Amino acid sequence: MALKVAFLGPLASFSHQAAAESFGRLSADLQPKASFNDAFAELQEKKADYAVIPCENSTNGSVVQTLDLLADRDNLYKDVKVCGEYYLTVHHCLLARKGTYPSWADYDGSITKLYTHPQAWGQCETFLGKYFKGVERQDVSSTSKGAEIVSKESSERGGAIASRFAAEHHGTDILVENIEDRADNTTRFLILRNVLVERTAQLEFEQSNPPTEGSGLETMHKTLISFTIDHSSAGALANALLIFKNHGLNLTSINTRPSLKKPWQYIFFVECGRTLSEENKEAVNKALDDLRKVTESCRDLGTWKDQLSVEA
């Protein structure tokens, strides 16, 4: 039976592309979901084996919808954990309805509205500021949705910012390629699963990669932990973060989201890196034990192979 993999839809979104590249060789059943919540719910209810969800972009930062779901304030997704990651180099294109303009050289400035996902605006500011200053920007649920809207227009002159993948799927023209501010513009996707679902075998991105004989090299792994603190206690955050140093764990990122319990109180997300060994695995477990002593709440959100160290 094919693996069921949920991703943030619709079809031809960057999430679809990331899921296809992550699971395509396995002939997986890729299932588009209308929202981040739907993808998480499919995992929790064991209707999907995995979910591929964007978590941060190298140009525009964290995807807060994903952090909010990982915060899981209402304990709806208690069995969902991160088990892998995938880095997708993101190249944005300016799209228009088929046949509207022969080429970018023939563009006459008549586009009156642009459509894309909110994350994409900040990734293309230089191009937009130069050619589309003052043009209305319409947020849509995904870059692919913007391409779909433009492909079906009959009167309004609209443009979309999306991928070549989306342009080919929806049949739009590409006026300009690679309009992103940085050539290294990359989105990291988290691969999640329900830890209560038994699997007959681990997938490649989940498996440990022991050092090659004589090389002395080990693949790095990452662990994501969330916690809350007593904000009225002096040094509470410093005490929590010091625990990672005391156990020899390198912090690779820190994020926050509002706790929604009281204004200006937060849930902290800490990602730490380590080589995969029994000693280091025990260091993470000990760090979690110590964190529980100095925090109000603490949750292990999963461990996975660091794909950047694999590429290196």
Residue 278 has pLDDT above 50, yes or no: yes
Give residues with Cβ within 8 angstroms of 83, minimum separation 6: 50, 191, 192, 193, 205, 206, 302, 304
Please check whether residue 50 lies inside any domain of the structure: yes
Please check whether residue 204 lies inside any domain of the structure: no
178 token code pair: 């690679």
**Can you give the pLDDT at residue 211?**
41
**Can you give the pLDDT at residue 207?**
54
Only one residue has tokens 């694999």, namely 310
The verdict on 189 and 73 lying in the same domain is yes
Using the 3D structure, point to which of 176, 210, 232 is the last residue of a domain. 176
Q: How confident is the model at residue 279 (pLDDT cuts 50, 70, 90)?
A: low
Residue 79 has pLDDT above 80, yes or no: yes
**Can you give the pLDDT at residue 203?**
78
Give residues with Cβ within 8 angstroms of 29, minimum separation 6: 2, 3, 4, 5
The verdict on 68 and 190 lying in the same domain is yes
For residue 196, the tally of other CB atoms under 10 A from its CB is 10
Percent of the chain with pLDDT over 90: 77
Residue 127 has pLDDT above 50, yes or no: yes
The verdict on 82 and 189 lying in the same domain is yes
Using the 3D structure, point to which of 149, 176, 203 is the last residue of a domain. 176
DSSP three-state, residue 77: coil
Domain at 267, CATH number: 3.30.70.260
The verdict on 302 and 245 lying in the same domain is yes
**Can you give the pLDDT at residue 206?**
72
Q: How confident is the model at residue 276 (pLDDT cuts 50, 70, 90)?
A: low
Residue 30 has pLDDT above 90, yes or no: yes
**Can you give the pLDDT at residue 209?**
46
Give residue 117's identity as a one-letter amino acid code: H
Domain at 107, CATH number: 3.40.190.10
The verdict on 189 and 171 lying in the same domain is no
Lowest mean pLDDT among 58-67, 205-214, 259-268: 205-214
The verdict on 9 and 77 lying in the same domain is yes
The verdict on 161 and 268 lying in the same domain is no
Asked if 144 and 166 touch (Cβ cutoff 8 Å), the reply is yes
Question: Domain range spanning residue 294?
Answer: 220-311
Average pLDDT, the chain: 90
The verdict on 60 and 38 lying in the same domain is yes
Please check whether residue 269 lies inside any domain of the structure: yes
The whole-number average pLDDT for the span 276-299 is 87
The whole-number average pLDDT for the span 187-210 is 79
The verdict on 48 and 116 lying in the same domain is no
**Can you give the pLDDT at residue 64?**
93
What is the C-alpha to C-alpha distance for residues 235 and 288, in angstroms, rounded to an integer? Answer: 18
For residue 91, the tally of other CB atoms under 10 A from its CB is 15
The pLDDT tens digits of the residues spanning 33-42 come to 988 999 999 9
Please check whether residue 212 lies inside any domain of the structure: no
The whole-number average pLDDT for the span 95-112 is 91
Ranges 205-209, 215-219, 252-256, most confident: 252-256
Residue 271 has pLDDT above 50, yes or no: yes
DSSP three-state, residue 83: strand
Q: How confident is the model at residue 311 (pLDDT cuts 50, 70, 90)?
A: low
The verdict on 232 and 115 lying in the same domain is no
How many domains does the chain contain in total? 3
15 token code pair: 């999430």
The whole-number average pLDDT for the span 224-242 is 96
Q: Is the pTM of this model over 0.75?
A: yes
The verdict on 41 and 103 lying in the same domain is no
Lowest mean pLDDT among 84-88, 105-109, 223-227: 105-109
The verdict on 143 and 189 lying in the same domain is no
